[in-house]
Amino acid sequence: MGILFDMDGVIADTNPFHKITIQQFCAQHGIEATDSFLEEKVYGRVNKEWIPELFGAITTAESEKLADEKEALFREIYASHLKAVDGLLDFLSLLQQHSISAAIATSAPLENAEFILSGLNISHFFDAVLHSAHVEQGKPHPEIYLKAAAALGEKPTDCIVIEDSISGVLAGKAAACKVIGVTTTHTREELGAIDLGIDDFVGLSLSDLKKL
């Protein structure tokens, strides 16, 4: 069994701060980012996918520069608010005690993954960390979860994805994994075809995982 964690909204409830960041970032460039745009186009996707949709015909270099600018702003805004989702540390300890492998599979860049994992002092719980540079296609494409399962030496059908975004749930399902939905960003109903819904990690047990 392998557990594949999304990061934003799963490891830490960062999406409210990503929203603030994107709104400030867009305002600095004279662009309005609506709630519907964030939900449909941004959450769960990699920067190289949504930034061109927002800014139009720009070069790859321009897109990368804008992405770096946005992520640096996010880290500045979120730094004083960094906090793990409730119950996460106990759940990670439980996995480690039972020798269950775990990986991060995030659409965020490496700098953000290092910022959050190091800031929470939880890097040692993960056997692999996959980020935006590891994939050509962002969620809802299953690429990152297929690669995360492979990084753990597990079949996707023997893995459980933990997600908070609609595109992430679709990616997990497309990879043939079971999916636990965390309701930090969406309701259980909005998340769709999840196998289990949780508000946080408090009380999530080994027997819950085995049932899946």
Residue 126 has phi, psi (to 5 degrees) of: -110, 135
- Nearest CA to 98 out of 212, 10, 210, 211 is that of 210
Q: How far is CA 32 from the centre of its chain?
A: 24
Q: How far is CA 173 from the centre of its chain?
A: 15
Q: Cite the active site residues.
A: 6, 8
Q: How large is the C-alpha radius of gyration of the chain? A: 16
Three-state secondary structure string covering 85-133: CCCHHHHHHHHHHCCCEEEEECCCCHHHHHHHHHHCCCHHHCCEEECHH
**Bond preceding residue 140 cis, omega within 30 of 0:** yes
Please identify which residue in the block is written with the tokens 């023997």.
158
Query: Two tokens at 106?
Result: 């995030």
